[in-house]
Amino acid sequence: QQPVQSPQAVILREGEDAVINCSSSKALYSVHWYRQKHGEAPVFLMILLKGGEQKGHEKISASFNEKKQQSSLYLTASQLSYSGTYFCGTELAGGSNYKLTFGKGTLLTVNP
């Protein structure tokens, strides 16, 4: 039930764009995105809910294709501060699951 993230790692230069994908084999109710810098705790970025509602940072954009059970996180005009490991967490549809299952993460490195 663990979602699959791709790519595993990406290296960018400042100002470049990146897309991180998250896919599930099961129907989803929501997808959550977190960023974790080395040695620190994960920090919330965004939640995308079934039905189109989004909650999160204005500067981060993401999409959620409910039919394909996929989500993508769009990082545009990357800054050095974007570096870190990005995790998607998925909440299954149907019933009171309340459990987030995280993917293995995508390591993003932004170089000057």
Partner 1 sequence: DTAVSQTPKYLVTQMGNDKSIKCEQNLGHDTMYWYKQDSKKFLKIMFSYNNKELIINETVPNRFSPKSPDKAHLNLHINSLELGDSAVYFCASSQDPASYEQYFGPGTRLTVT
Q: Which is nearer to partner 1, 39 or 112 (CB)?
A: 39
Alpha carbon 54 to chain centroid, angstroms? 13
Contact present, 66 and 28 (Cβ < 8 Å)? yes
Stretch that binds partner 1, among 4-12, 30-38, 62-70, 75-83 (CB under 8 A): 30-38
Stretch that binds partner 1, among 4-12, 17-25, 67-75, 95-103 (CB under 8 A): 95-103
Task: Give the full edge-to-edge strand order of the sheet including 18-23.
Answer: 4-6, 18-23, 70-75, 61-65
User: How far apart are CB 80 and partner 1 at their closest, in Å?
Assistant: 21
Residue from 24, 105, 108, 110 in contact with partner 1 (CB under 8 A): 105
Q: Is 85 in the site for partner 1 (CB under 8 A)?
A: yes
CA-to-CA distance for 23 and 66, rounded, in angstroms?
10
Structure tokens at 81: 């501060």
Give the amino acid at 67. Answer: K
Residue from 32, 70, 82, 108 in contact with partner 1 (CB under 8 A): 32
Q: Is 61 in the site for partner 1 (CB under 8 A)?
A: no
CA-to-CA distance for 60 and 70, rounded, in angstroms?
17
Residue from 6, 16, 19, 29 in contact with partner 1 (CB under 8 A): 29
